[in-house]
A and B are shown apart, each in its own frame.
Chain A
Amino acid sequence: MTSRSSRKPDGGGRSARPLLEAFKLNKTYGTVQAVRGVDFALSENSYVTLLGPSGCGKTSILRMIGGFESVSSGALALDGNRLDETAANQRPINTVFQNYALFPHLSVLENVAFGLSYRDVAKSRIKVLAMDALKTVQMEAMADRRPRQLSGGQQQRVALARAIVNEPRLLLLDEPLSALDRRMRKDMQIELKDLQRRLGMTFLHVTHDQEEAFALSDQIIVMRDGLIEQQGTPEAIYAKPETAYVADFIGGSACISADVTGREEANVVLKSAFGTFTVPGVPTLNIGDKAVLCLRPEQVSVVQAEPEGKAILKARVVHQVYRGSDWLLECDCGDQIVQVLHRDTPPAVGDDVTLAFDTSKVWAAAADPRAGTPSETGAA
């Protein structure tokens, strides 16, 4: 893949204008509101993941950007130009479909060359460019095969080549790795990230797998029920979840309900059923707000004696899972399960233990405002 210049806007005066912007984007199917007025922006040369459980609206967003679904209300802009009124075949955007959607009646090479015949490419160049794209994904040896003669991973690569050969401004990937086995998935993650860096394209990747999102992304957009819950770098989302939902979905945190009773610079004072803790937290938390204390399994340890400068919880081990390199203990602190990573021989199930965590390392996030108020989810 060489000349990428053709599709770029005038190279010189490239401002910080985002590549793609969504304004109050809405998608309604009948009475179901799949996407509920989201705003986001994708920058050039970045790997962005739309992350969320199934039914959160992430695929609807992808399909609206691709042009396969109409936008119910709101707008999309690509390079500052209105996108949502352009037909799918006119958009400088290509998609890697979840089931790959390779044309079964065409050879691998013909599949990859398909898009080039609708672009301003000389006939003689089409085959050369298609072969180049196949080389990029190490599939040039399979050029004459039919898609059905390829394994899932190979079809995946051909689908990638078929999309990137068109040098799109934006590449959409709809759960591209979900059909592959675990090992293949890990390999493809590395290759996808590597490919994105080499091509300098923007990739927008939809997935429900947080591990995959962390492995790939420069930016993660966490979605829930048609709304964006939080967006930011993987580090920010992992270390500083804004809501209890993100803390739970991303890090598997135990979320202990608490009230904010004070602020000390960057720290917040949380009063919970297990004591009062002063911990770092979301800056927007104010006195009187409902909050949660997020405890990730690796932040909590089982201790024999009460250590200096650490907060403690009394608990009983209710479950243990052996995971090879460590054990995952589930400890009941009384109406609250806290998971603990434990490296050595673990205490037995039923043992009373003392759990300790460093208050400067844990995090306070906003309590889930939507929990317990289902009417807030709007249209039926």
Chain B
Amino acid sequence: MRRSILSVGDWLALPVVAALIALCCAPLLILLAYSFFQVDFVTISHDLTLANYAKIAGSETHRSLIARAFGSAMLVVALTAVIAYPVAWFIAKRVHAAKSTLLTLLLVPLYSGDLIRIFAWRVLLGAEGAINRSLMWLGVIDEPLSGLLFSPLATHIALTYNYLPFMVIGLWLAFESLDDTWLEAAADLGAPAPARFLRVSLPLTLPGLVAGGLMVFVMVASDYLTPQLLGGASGITIISAINDLFGTAFDWPLGSAIAWTMLSILMVCFGLGALAIRRSSLVAEDV
């Protein structure tokens, strides 16, 4: 009886599995194949070669763009984590009736679309923007700060703002399952407040931090619009390089190789994240 119910589930899952294989795995494999081809004038030669990967490894520009993408991603993960910890704690532990309202408010900006939010930041950060005007009115500065917009600063402010909700959601879930008596026990045993956070709250919310962090990391590393529209001269990213290679340069193999290099690094990050969650012992390792 039980088995037959389960087998119905198997059949129902089949289309999803098929779609995943057809729409997700297959294109990636095609991309992987292309990364071993090479451009021969205006055609693509199908002789397998590692030349594309060698080119990436040998190119200062590509290496620094990839490093910058992951460096930015790490920075934004750190910023969102610092901001999201108190927010997630507050929503999980201090709010009761208004909990769903707050969570909805947190997600509302996501409904407005990337472009709208990016242009909103332009309005805020521009030479004639709200921040410059207020600072000038207060007499803190005499002329508008030009570094606010079209700079790495603007890019990272907007990225942090954009992806903060994902970190908050991850941490909020972790705080929901954090039993307050653990913190009482830590206080009972003499731990002052900072130690209670570092030795109890932090390790026990680590799965939420890793989950939220991975989401933010992946999305920032592959974000294209924000640096393009707010970064100015710093707006060239590895993603825009891939775009150029596939578009104007017609070098699909090199573009594929860069994409797969990024993907491999991301997969390593995911592997490390999964390991961190397992090591944190919150996933049962039964006797």
Contact = CB atoms under 8 A, between A and B. Distances in A.
Interface of A: 66-68, 87-90, 93-95, 97, 99, 101-105, 114-115, 118-119, 146, 148-149, 162-163, 166
Contacts of B286: 149
13 contacts: A66-B184, A67-B187, A68-B184, A87-B187, A89-B192, A94-B189, A103-B182, A103-B186, A105-B280, A115-B190, A119-B190, A146-B281, A149-B286
Closest 4 CB pairs of A and B: A118-B190, A115-B189, A101-B185, A88-B187
A101 B181 contact: yes
Contacts of B204: 103-105
Contacts of B282: 104-105
Given A97-B185, A101-B179, A101-B182, A148 B190 contact: no
A256 to B, nearest CB: 45
Contacts of B192: 89, 118
A88 B203 contact: no
Given A95-B185, A101-B184, 17 more contacts: A88-B184, A89-B187, A89-B189, A93-B188, A101-B182, A103-B185, A104-B204, A104-B281, A104-B282, A105-B281, A114-B191, A115-B190, A118-B189, A118-B195, A149-B286, A163-B188, A166-B189
B97 interface: no
- Among the interface residues A89, A90, A118, which one has the most CB atoms of the partner chain B within 10 A? A89
A88 B280 CA distance: 27
Interface string B169-188: 00000000001011011111
A97 B281 contact: no
Interface string B274-287: 00000011101111
B189 A97 contact: no
Contacts of A104: 204, 281-282
B200 interface: yes
B177 to A, nearest CB: 11
A189 to B, nearest CB: 23
Contacts of A148: 281, 284
Contact of B191 (A94, A97, A99, A118): A118
Nearest to B192: A89
Contacts of A149: 286-287
A114 to B, nearest CB: 5
Contact of A99 (B181, B199, B280): B181
Contacts of B203: 105
B180 to A, nearest CB: 9
A117 to B, nearest CB: 8
A229 B187 CA distance: 32
Contact of A114 (B179, B189, B284, B285): B189
A149 to B, nearest CB: 5
Contacts of B200: 103
Contacts of A95: 184-185, 188
A277 B200 CA distance: 63
B185 A89 contact: no
A104 B204 CA distance: 8
Contacts of A88: 184, 187-188
A89 B182 CA distance: 13
B186 A114 contact: yes
Nearest to B285: A146
Nearest to A146: B281
B287 A97 contact: no
Nearest to B280: A105
A166 B184 CA distance: 16
Contacts of A114: 186, 189, 191, 199
Contacts of B179: 99, 101
Contacts of B195: 118
A163 B89 CA distance: 28
Nearest to B190: A118
B190 A166 contact: yes
Contacts of A102: 185
A266 B182 CA distance: 53
Contacts of B287: 149
A303 B204 CA distance: 66
A148 B190 CA distance: 24
A97 B190 contact: no
A105 B202 CA distance: 11
Contacts of A101: 179, 181-182, 184-185
A163 B187 CA distance: 12
